[in-house]
Amino acid sequence: GSGFIIKESGIVITNNHVIANAEDILVRVGDKEYKAKLIGADPYMDVAVLQMETKDKFKPVEFGDSDLARVGDWAVAIGNPFGLGGTVTAGIISARNRDINLTRYDDFIQTDASINQGNSGGPLFNLKGEVIGINTAILGQGGSIGIGFAIPANAASNVIDQLIEFGETKRGWLGVRIQEVTKEIAEVEKLKKPQGALVASVGEKSPADKAGVKAGDIILEFDGKKIDTMRKLPKVVANTKVGKSVELKIWRNKKLITKKLTLGRLESSEEFKEKKTKIIKKKEEIIESLKISVRDINDKDISSRNLNKKTTGVVITNIEKNSQLINLLEVNDIILEVQKTSIKKTSDLKNIVDGIFKKGEKTLLLTIINKNNRRRYLGVKIN
């Protein structure tokens, strides 16, 4: 992954998915490597703040005002695509406020500056050298197709400030489950057009519940901000200060009514506690150099296959047709070791294999458990 330094003391910003579940974090600056510790991470916006463990001083970059970024403006991305090292790509801002259903608070800047795997967490600059976004996602599998996405600096810096100050986020919380207002619903409710967020249910003892918000209400305005679409409400609520007294404009029984409430804190709610564990869990990882996908072994694998309880390794979930392992390994085979080094999780496999390719070694020695649960060694010639 990639990142950028925002304070001379060595505070680094990256994506949460870059460091999620990491045992050790290393930050490479130029030709030096530093150990880093996690100050705070936010899986909801996919942002993480790290502190390099060193007394060295660094030259930081500064955030610009991402709201001033216009479609057509030049943008420059810097990162570490495919582990090649510092790489600069340029393009324009292709779109603003993109929602690709990746996070709860999608509001991405879309750019055609080449963003590839390994660019995650790197900065997107304007031509003044200000960071206007954090490069986060690409559409489609594999390489860049000229459609990359960055978290806008204004939204990210608010979260970063909270992570630095408190080590966690403090987001506003309303306590409603919402759904889209379709054309048909708008027609029945006698709304001029589909707009707002339809309340599907209200959390017990939540701020909305205490204020008398009911299922079936349509929230049209929150704290003076118009709610054009359902997806806008969570963003607006999350960016509002916890404990603030806010006014809601609601469409109920074909009439506009007003409700006042005091905003709660999302992270203290039961809803957040339930979801937090689900979001941080990493699924499968693509090992580009071998053209395979793997996931961590779990308790279910161990019990269903009667393996030793201390077994560690990764399970193969996909092998591409042009992989060097095709016809040698199969989906559901378990990789236990590479060059006799134990694999505990997917990132271990990635790091070891990447190191082998960099050194130019010609053969991989894999220790595997095949589908018949037999332990085998496999020598694979690599290009």
Length of the chain: 383
Q: Indicate which residue of 2, 94, 114, 120 is catalytic.
A: 120
| 64 dihedral zone (left: phi>0; alpha: psi -120 to 50; beta) | beta
Asked if 368 contacts 335 with a C-beta cutoff of 8 angstroms, the reply is: yes
How many whole angstroms separate alpha carbon 281 and alpha carbon 21?
A: 8
120 as an active site residue: the answer is yes
Residue 267 Cα distances to 14, 272, 292, 342, angstroms: 21, 6, 37, 37
206 and 176 Cβ atoms separated by less than 8 Å: yes
Catalytic residue among 42, 46, 217, 296: 46
* Rg, Å, the chain Cα set: 24
Structure tokens at 137: 């996602």
Burial grade of 135 (CB within 10 A; 0-12, 13-18, 19 or more): buried
Q: What is the DSSP letter of 357?
A: H
Residue 77 sits at the vertex; the CA angle it makes with 72 and 82, to the nearest 5 degrees, is 135
Please say if 46 is a catalytic residue.
yes
Among residues 2, 17, 42, 348, which one is catalytic?
A: 17
Tell me 196's DSSP state.
S
268 labelled catalytic: no
**Catalytic site positions:** 17, 46, 120
